[in-house]
Amino acid sequence: MDCTIDTIKVRKRIENLCNEMERERRNYVKKNDDWWEHYIRVTRAQKKENVSKEIQAADEKFHVPTVNSVTSSLSTDEVVDFEDLSVEEIKQKLLAFGIKTKLRKKEKLVVLLKETVGGRK
């Protein structure tokens, strides 16, 4: 027997079976009209509230210094020459602002730190 002919015959049988066995479409019946008018808003608001509570709990658990505490360490009275800092020191100061970077060139790091400090004051 020829494999190609067998394959075509099987394919045709499958097509015929699938065409005969079409699903019937079900009717949708609303069980609770109040759900769409009222309860859906309430449940969504509760979900948002739960997420914000989880975020606050995680923030309290893993407290990261806020921008105000970092800017107070870099006050306007204190003049910091970023050019004299090492790459690691600049990265640590950026990390204190919550900025993680993969930059390695000192010039780019200095520019980023100046923009960060300038924008936070």
The per-residue pLDDT for range 47-89, each reduced to its tens digit, is 999 988 888 888 777 765 554 444 545 544 455 678 888 999 9
Same-domain status, 79 and 112: yes
Read off the pLDDT of residues 1-50 as tens digits, 9 standing for 90 and up: 688 899 999 998 888 887 766 667 888 887 888 888 888 899 999 999 99
To the nearest 5 percent, what fractions of the chain are helix, strand and coil?
70, 0, 30
Same-domain status, 57 and 97: no
Quote the pLDDT of residue 77.
Answer: 43
Task: Indicate the SS3 state at residue 21.
Answer: coil
> Domain range spanning residue 94?
67-120
Contacts of 90 (CB under 8 A, 6+ apart): 82, 106, 109, 110, 113
What is the tally of structural domains in the chain? 2
Same-domain status, 52 and 97: no
The answer as to whether 87 is a domain residue is yes
Q: Which backbone phi and psi does 24 adopt, to 5 degrees? A: -85, 145
Distance CA 69, CA 78 (A): 15
Same-domain status, 111 and 72: yes
Q: How many CB atoms lie within 10 A of CB 112?
A: 18
The answer as to whether 9 is a domain residue is no
